[in-house]
Amino acid sequence: MQHTSEHFVQNSRIALADAQLKPVLGAVTTFLPALRQKAIDQTPEFEALRDYAVAMKDHVLDHLETYLADFERAVQARGGAVHHAAGAEDLNRIVLALCAGADVRKVIKGKSMVGEETNLNDALQGAGLEVLETDLGEYIIQQAGEPPSHIIGPALHKSKAQVAELFRQKHDLGERNLDDVPQMVREARQMLRERFLSADAGITGANALVAENGSIMLVTNEGNGDLCSILPRLHIVIAGIEKLVPTVEDASALHRVLCRSATGQITSAYTTFYSGPRRAEEPDGPVAFHVILLDNGRRAMRAGKYRSMLRCIRCGACLNHCPVYRHVGGHAYGWVYPGPMGSVLTPLMTGLERAVELPNACTACGRCEETCPMRIPLPEHLRQLRDDAATAGITPRAWRLGIGAAMTAFRWPWLYRASSGLARSAVAFLGRHPGVLRRVPVLRGWAQGRALPAPQAETFMGRWQRRQHGKSGEHRL
């Protein structure tokens, strides 16, 4: 997908003005957190499950290379092959070479964030291959020509009416109706079935890579990932190196926190562990099984202060709980990964210069860290990225000036007191005369539908000093 993170502010304005998007985002960020909470309420062990998932991932990160070597050996022992891709282009090149070697023309895909990361569809289509996304949400956005807006539900930004309209445009409907969601689902089932059966290669992601036996864990509710893994003669798995776990029990341990955090489910409808190509006695399954492991900045992340980001299991909970995501949606973030996790990953994977606005798109409310099943300190990473941007001198000039002014005020208490007193009077005036703000060109949009709250009668400092009056002088400011 096109990278537009440098236009986050502009993208956000467009999103905020989109009247159709607002109710959809409101529903997503209300409904999914409620489902998650219900699942957690049914699981008294949830905090212990989180603690184990975190400790297990940290252990794997400490021993990443040896676990990778174990995984590779196990895949080979079962007749599969492992490939290593340093960057996005390497991964696409390996996939293309595998397809060319097996005379592949038609490719079906399961949902894969790594595939989005490397822009795999464009590379495959550019080489003349037919590519079809089979996850219902991915299929919808592929038909619409749009990027995903959410890592779990890529088409959640689309209303039912918009999907029905899209199917009407893209499918030859004949007599078929599209009045409700079950009918739309049947429509997609019918369209995709034929394509599943005629595909030459299936490409899927992996929710975990199991070092002990070389299997990959694939989690879906639709079963599309399984059809991609079983029906075509070539199965290619693409995954980040951080997906490794030591054993199948550990994969299940991650699965427990993933399902609850992502969709509020106790389990997904389908969870399959695949390893190697079909065996002689089996009537179906791929004749070749390849796993491509992507680095794309992950080893560098592991070596530095952002290491905990590699614990991320792509559950999407931080998006659903983020007040910024709630208002601007996924497309505003301008790349594959949106929300708090995207605001950390995008600068780390594509360069801070291209995404400097993202770490600043944060209210520091801390809900992402609270809800993250892997206890990733997302607000701290966002702060570190802002720090990195300041050190590298790439923070926009206006922000630098603003922060500089604030720092000056903090350094000189009399200046701070004078300016906050002035600001209080100004806010009080504007609160009493709402029409004034609406006449200021840059503030017009913001002031529409909002009123400034009337400030308190005195400042915090004034109140503090009054309360301290009479007490020992050491606490006085």
Partner 1 sequence: MNARDSAYAALAATRPRVHVPGNVVEHFITRLRAQGGQCSRVDDEPGGRAWIAALAREDGSSMLTAKDAWLERILALPGPALPVLRAAGEGPVKGLAITTAIAAVAETGSLLLHPRAGTPMALNFLCDRLVVLVRAADVLPNLEDLWARVRREFGSDTPRALSLVSGPSSSGDIGMQFATGVHGPIELHALIVSG
Positions that interact with ligand SF4 (CB under 6 A): 261, 312-318, 341, 371-374, 376, 378
314 contact, one of ligand SF4, partner 1, none, CB 5-8 Å limit per kind: ligand SF4
Indicate whether 265 belongs to the interface with partner 1 (CB under 8 A): yes
What are the residues facing 210 on neighbouring strands? Answer: 215, 245
Q: Which of 120/382 has CB closer to ligand SF4? A: 382
Chain-centroid distance, C-alpha 167: 26
Q: Which of 118/263 has CB closer to partner 1? A: 263
The stretch near partner 1 (CB under 8 A) out of 119-127, 222-230, 290-298, 348-356 is 222-230
* 281 dihedral zone (left: phi>0; alpha: psi -120 to 50; beta): alpha
Question: Among 458, 459, 462, 452, which Cα is nearest to 427's?
Answer: 452
What x-and-dash track marks residues 301-340 binding partner 1 by CB under 8 A? ----------------------------------------
In angstroms, what is the minimal distance from the CB of 318 to ligand SF4? 3
The whole-angstrom separation of Cα 198 and Cα 182 is 25
The letter for the amino acid at 317 is A
Read off the tokens for 391.
């050190």
Q: Which of 44/449 has CB closer to partner 1? A: 44
Indicate whether 227 belongs to the interface with partner 1 (CB under 8 A): yes
Indicate whether 263 belongs to the interface with partner 1 (CB under 8 A): yes
What's the angle, vertex CA 142, arms to CA 127 and CA 106, rounded to 5? 40
Number of residues in the chain? 477
Phi, psi of 210 (to 5 degrees): -95, 115
What are the residues facing 239 on neighbouring strands? Answer: 293
In angstroms, what is the minimal distance from the CB of 373 to ligand SF4? 6
In angstroms, what is the minimal distance from the CB of 207 to ligand SF4? 12
252 contact, one of partner 1, ligand SF4, none, CB 5-8 Å limit per kind: partner 1
In angstroms, what is the minimal distance from the CB of 477 to ligand SF4? 39
Read off the tokens for 149.
């807006």
The whole-angstrom separation of Cα 274 and Cα 229 is 8
Question: Among 370, 306, 373, 294, which Cα is nearest to 344's?
Answer: 306
In angstroms, what is the minimal distance from the CB of 68 to partner 1? 12
Q: Which of 104/372 has CB closer to ligand SF4? A: 372
Q: Which of 319/348 has CB closer to partner 1? A: 319
The stretch near partner 1 (CB under 8 A) out of 112-120, 245-253, 291-299, 407-415 is 245-253
The 3-class SS string of 412-461 reads CHHHHHHHHHHHHHHHHHHHHCHHHHHHCHHHHHHHCCCCCCCCCCCCHH
Cα dist. 33→27, 269, 399 in Å? 10, 20, 33
In angstroms, what is the minimal distance from the CB of 272 to partner 1? 4
Would you say 50 and 375 are in contact if contact means Cβ atoms under 8 Å apart?
A: yes
Q: Which of 33/455 has CB closer to ligand SF4? A: 33
230 contact, one of ligand SF4, partner 1, none, CB 5-8 Å limit per kind: partner 1
Indicate whether 29 belongs to the interface with partner 1 (CB under 8 A): no
The stretch near partner 1 (CB under 8 A) out of 199-207, 247-255, 305-313, 373-381 is 247-255
Read off the tokens for 223.
């079963």
Q: Which of 21/151 has CB closer to ligand SF4? A: 151
372 contact, one of ligand SF4, partner 1, none, CB 5-8 Å limit per kind: ligand SF4
The stretch near partner 1 (CB under 8 A) out of 278-286, 302-310, 328-336, 406-414 is 278-286
The whole-angstrom separation of Cα 342 and Cα 36 is 20
Cα dist. 115→35, 91, 119, 120, 425 in Å? 28, 9, 6, 5, 54
Q: Which residue bears the tokens 């995709």?
A: 192
Indicate whether 63 belongs to the interface with partner 1 (CB under 8 A): yes
Q: Which of 62/122 has CB closer to partner 1? A: 62
52 contact, one of partner 1, ligand SF4, none, CB 5-8 Å limit per kind: partner 1
312 contact, one of partner 1, ligand SF4, none, CB 5-8 Å limit per kind: ligand SF4
The letter for the amino acid at 157 is H
